[in-house]
């Protein structure tokens, strides 16, 4: 009996370890796909496709793919919102997140943009204390302050991009924090699928208002690029979501910083761009301080 119990416990442990390992693999794959999406978006918006046009087409493709996927599984009810008006408002405001991020990519190297975007960890901490009434101790407040020093250090408009680009990334980071907090508050009544769908519907609706004045005919390569951005976004989010369902968030969160390695590779291969010492120093400060925030949160 003891032998059977030991084998049973070992089997459960191996199963949990296997699930954790698969969660890490899926999360890393999702990060890679999302970073590739950023690189493809930067290539499109630099000279070829207007950001509004990209967002409109991307939102339509994502919505169509989601409806088709859930219809094929006879799970369309997962897409039905409970608080429709609130979800619509969230989507309309959330438009600013991809708009400002992609606009920032037009003026900045991929690595510099992602370094500054990591400030969303500090913004989420601030928003959690204000809107979710979560307790944030003096150590985490100190780490947040140090993190913003790192953001200021990383910003070097004369060396690696324009100040406007950095400001756009900071706005994107703040709106992303809003999406995170609002999604957490709505999670009690809304499914994850409905949150994603109505967020993209909101982005598409706002983009549609501006579309008549900026629409241009896209070449076959540009259509391929927009389709690539959309598919990478869907697959990346799916892999990351599945990863979170299999492994602890506290284990996966630090892996976000591997995107810096990926963005360095894309910058070097596609644009022959290497970050300066100031950006690297700022990134180091941000990583250490936000890592401490995550550590204290797990405690």
Residue 215, in any domain of the structure: yes
Residue 5, in any domain of the structure: no
Q: Which domain holds residue 187?
A: 24-298
pLDDT tens-digit series, residues 63-78:
999 999 999 999 999 9
> pTM for the full model?
0.84
Please check whether residue 233 is in contact with residue 62, taking contact to mean a CB–CB distance below 8 angstroms.
yes
pLDDT of residue 143: 81
Residue 2, in any domain of the structure: no
Please check whether residue 213 is in contact with residue 204, taking contact to mean a CB–CB distance below 8 angstroms.
no
Q: What is the pLDDT confidence band of residue 62, given thresholds at 50, 70 and 90?
A: very high
Higher-pLDDT residue of 227, 277: 227
In the chain, the number of structural domains is 1
pLDDT tens-digit series, residues 109-140:
999 999 899 888 888 888 888 887 778 778 87
Buried b vs exposed e over 104-137: b needs ≥16 C-beta within 10 Å? bbbbbbbbbbbbbbbbbbbbbbebbeeeeeeebe
Residue 4, in any domain of the structure: no
Q: What is the pLDDT confidence band of residue 157, given thresholds at 50, 70 and 90?
A: low
pLDDT of residue 299: 64
Residue 18, in any domain of the structure: no
Residue 153, in any domain of the structure: yes
Question: What are the two backbone dihedrals, phi and then psi, of residue 191, each rounded to the nearest 5 degrees?
Answer: -80, 155
């Amino acid at each position: 009996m003891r032998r059977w119990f030991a084998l049973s416990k070992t089997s459960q442990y191996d199963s949990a370890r296997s699930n954790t390992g698969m969660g890490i693999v899926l999360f890393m794959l999702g990060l890679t796909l999302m970073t590739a999406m950023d690189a493809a978006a930067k290539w499109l918006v630099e000279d070829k496709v207007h950001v509004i046009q990209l967002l409109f087409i991307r939102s339509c493709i994502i919505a169509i793919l989601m409806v088709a996927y859930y219809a094929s599984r006879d799970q369309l009810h997962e897409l039905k919102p409970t608080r429709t008006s609130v979800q619509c408002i969230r989507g309309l405001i959330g438009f600013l997140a991809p708009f400002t991020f992609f606009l920032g990519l037009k003026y900045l190297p991929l690595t510099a943009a992602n370094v500054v975007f990591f400030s969303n960890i500090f913004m989420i901490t601030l928003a959690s204390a204000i809107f979710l009434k979560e307790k944030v101790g003096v150590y985490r407040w100190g780490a947040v302050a140090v993190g913003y020093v790192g953001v200021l250090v990383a910003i070097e408009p004369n060396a690696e991009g324009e100040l406007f680009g950095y400001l756009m990334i900071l706005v994107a980071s703040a709106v992303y924090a809003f999406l995170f907090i609002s999604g957490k508050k709505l999670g009690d009544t809304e499914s994850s699928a409905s949150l994603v769908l109505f967020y993209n519907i909101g982005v598409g609706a706002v983009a549609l208002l501006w579309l008549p004045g900026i629409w241009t005919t896209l070449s076959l390569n540009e259509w391929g690029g927009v389709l690539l951005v959309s598919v990478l976004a869907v697959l990346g989010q799916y892999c990351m979501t599945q990863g979170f369902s299999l492994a602890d968030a506290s284990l996966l969160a630090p892996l976000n910083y591997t995107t810096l390695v990926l963005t360095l590779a894309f910058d070097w291969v596609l644009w022959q761009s290497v970050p300066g010492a100031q950006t690297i120093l700022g990134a180091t400060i941000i990583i250490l301080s936000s890592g401490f925030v995550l550590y204290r949160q797990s405690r």
